Amino acid sequence: MDETAPEPMDVTVDGPIGTSPADSDPLRQYRAWATALFVILLVVALVASAIVLAALPSVSPITLVGAVTNTLVGIAVLTIVAVALGRAEPWAVHAIAPMCVVLIVVGVGRFLVALTASEINIPLEAVGGALVLTRDHRAALLPPLDAGGRRMTSVIVLVFSAVQLLGAVGPLLTASPG
């Protein structure tokens, strides 16, 4: 029997035992919750586009083109942001709060319009946006942005806002009076 002691292992600990470097990222929850929300919205957009395509014969061509284009742009924006959040891109982290605010404003607007029609509409995307904003995202924690990052954040938020507003207002514009 060989009773030699095993070689000592070189173990480096960057924080308290039981923590990982990911635990030291104060924006980890904020990014994770936002990524989850955007992926859920992405799945909903894909399902909605399948429903629209299934209703092809009963939809006017202009409505169909508008809905499909709006949905495809929305899917592209959500995919870009979700992937960028996975990479912890600074511009994507800065885009989370304004995108959530857009979701809340559009959701509350849809809720109010539904109430005027004596309907109840619970805007789950607005609830999701509000929940994301409850995660710690103080300005001091946000990564610094260069000019390109500010530009990317602005473009993404503006396109996302347009997609959300067109999605909310589009049905009102194409509805037949009566």
Nearest-Å Rg of the Cα atoms of the chain is: 22
The string of DSSP letters for 1-67 reads ---PPPPPP----SSSTT--GGGG-TTHHHHHHHHHHHHHHHHHHHHHHHHHHHTGGGS-HHHHHHH
Other CB atoms within 10 A of residue 162 CB: 15
Rounded Cα distance between 114 and 121, Å, is: 6
Q: Could you tell me the sign of the dihedral formed by the alpha carbons of 79, 80, 81, 83, in that order?
A: positive
In this prediction, residue 5 has a pLDDT band, given cuts at 50, 70 and 90, of low
Give residue-wise pLDDT tens across range 14-66.
444 444 555 688 999 999 999 999 999 999 988 877 877 776 667 677 777 77
pLDDT, residue 125, reads 93
Give the pLDDT of residue 23.
Answer: 60
- What share of the chain has pLDDT > 70, as a percent? 79
Average pLDDT (111-123) is 90
